[in-house]
Amino acid sequence: MKKTRTRFAPSPTGYMHIGNLRTAIFEYLIAKKDNGDFILRIEDTDQTRKVEGAIDFIYDTLSLCRFKIDEGPNNEGEYGPYIQSERIDIYKKHALELVEKGAAYYCFCTEERLDKLREVASLNKQAFMYDGHCRNLSKEEVDEMLAKGVPYVIRQAMPKTGETIVSDVVYGDIVINNSVLEDQILIKSDGYPTYNFANVIDDHLMNITHVVRGKEYLDQTAKYNLLYDAFGWEKPEYVHVAMVLGEDGSKLSKRNGDASFMDLYNEGYLPDAIVNYLVLLGWSPETNQEVFSMDELINAFDPKRISKSSSQYDVKKLNWFNAQYIKRLSMDDYFDFVLPFLKDAYNLDEKSDEWIHHLVSIYQNHISYGKEIVNEVKIFFEDDITLDEECLSFMKQDGVNDTLKAFKEEIEAISDWNVDSISIAINNVKEKAGVKGKMLYMPIRIAVSGVMHGPELPDTIYLLGKEKVLKRL
């Protein structure tokens, strides 16, 4: 049996939206479930989209997600090069082989001629389809044009009758009428292959067994199958996946910034949580388990359970997953994770390590992404607080002043400033002022922190410090 090999084949745009990443996840899981290989191939035949450093960016992204790339441009295996622009000769050689076999042909049609055809098609309200003008040129005619150096492309000669069947793991068998297939370009006039040609050559030569890609390629796959047949090659398994749409139901794009993996990462979303969230976006396990370790995912993953319909990115759900993962971090890992966000936002020079640890620890069960802590801890860094309407009207109630007066006396009397002594002080206020529950805690909370909700009151008071608390009172 062939070793399972899947490939992730992004264009080097320096940007990975979560839809691309989800494809990589599916590919990775299919490979690893069979102890197979996961390959990275860079599809850069459209050189205009190329961005400096994009390959390292893809390596970094996949490594953050804990996907080991078994072969790729930075760790070549036996099937290199892994960058399409370095494989130009390979595509050309194979295109010529097809010309030899009569499955492809040289086309010398000028842009002007093609523009005219496009115009006519548009006047007739028809989709443009190349008319096969050069398909029947004689060998002599072709040789003459080539000798003269006339620019050309190489096109695939499609059968005009019959049907081609595409078998897909997710969508089943799809029957395509050959008459709708255009004689597509395989090699462009600049000598570069089209995606439609390069993907077939590479997938075959790299021994890829499973091709996972966007559903938008499904209809094209009949043309790929005809190429495999023309070469006499075995076809891979196809796994076409429906799109991930943005929160507003539109297609994900670079402009929709928050759908990029790196943006999420920089906001404090944990890669493990992103992966866990994404895999369930369009795939469902047999059980109703939601939080999966990588090993559990590899075990549970079955591409047959990928959904046929598109799924919608949902930040709330992602936040839920991320919060689960934050809660599960060890104290040390959690600290390393949130500290950079704090350091970025506040000057911590005068804060002790103990204070910083205490501060962040009380938020581990409350934040759903790393950067969220910045806003949450604001009350500990501001000098002045202003009360909103709701707080003000609460503070106008009878008895509030007496509670605060008693509280102030208790605080002043504390000699050993710690959470326990503060808890005792609050308890004493309860006795002295004869209040309890909300009427005890809320006036104190509002007076010291300026807000009605927050972490445990004794921790809050402790972290604010005696001086600040008395000043606010």
**Which residues would be at the binding site for ligand GLU (CB under 6 A)?**
9-11, 43, 199, 213-214
Give the nearest distance from C-beta 176 to ligand GLU in angstroms: 18
Question: In the complex, what is the shortest distance from the CB of residue 43 to ligand GLU, in angstroms, rounded to a whole number?
Answer: 4
> Which residue, 10 or 370, is less far from ligand GLU as judged by CB?
10
Q: Is residue 471 among the annotated active site residues? A: no
Spatial separation of the C-alpha atoms in residues 98 and 141, rounded to whole Å: 18
Residue 184 or 199: the one with the smaller Cβ distance to ligand GLU is: 199
* Beta strand residue intervals within 15-159, DSSP E: 37-40, 104-107, 153-156
Length, in residues, of the chain: 473
Beta bridge mates, 163: 177
Intra-chain end-to-end CA distance of the chain, in Å: 76
Among 93, 101, 254, 438, the active-site one is 254
Q: Which is nearer to ligand GLU, 4 or 199 (CB)?
A: 199
- 413 exposed, middle or buried (CB, 10 Å; 0-12, 13-18, 19+)? exposed
CB of 65 to ligand GLU, least distance (A): 17
- In angstroms, what is the minimal distance from the CB of 202 to ligand GLU? 9
Q: How far is the CB of 199 from ligand GLU (least distance, A)?
A: 5
Give the span between the Cα atoms of 152 and 4, in whole angstroms: 38
Q: Which residues contact 453 (CB under 8 A, 6 or more apart)?
A: none
Residue 451 to residue 342: CA distance in whole angstroms: 20
List 311's β-bridge partners, or say none: 244
Least distance in Å: CB of 229 to ligand GLU? Answer: 19
Which CB, 41 or 155, lies closer to ligand GLU? Answer: 41
Residue 286 to residues 240, 300, 303: CA-CA distances in angstroms? 20, 8, 12
Map tokens 């115009």 to a residue.
119
CA distance 94 to 201: 8
Within 13 Å and on the Cβ side, how many CA atoms surround 442? 17
Identify which of residues 13 and 319 has a Cβ nearer to ligand GLU in the complex: 13
| Token code pair at residue 196 | 């439609």
CB of residue 19 to ligand GLU, shortest distance in Å: 9
Query: For residues 221 and 322, which CB has a smaller minimum distance to ligand GLU in the complex?
Result: 221
Q: State whether residue 80 is helix, strand or coil.
A: coil
Three-state secondary-structure class, residue 245: strand
Q: CA–CA separation, 137 vs 44, rounded Å?
A: 32
Catalytic residues: 254
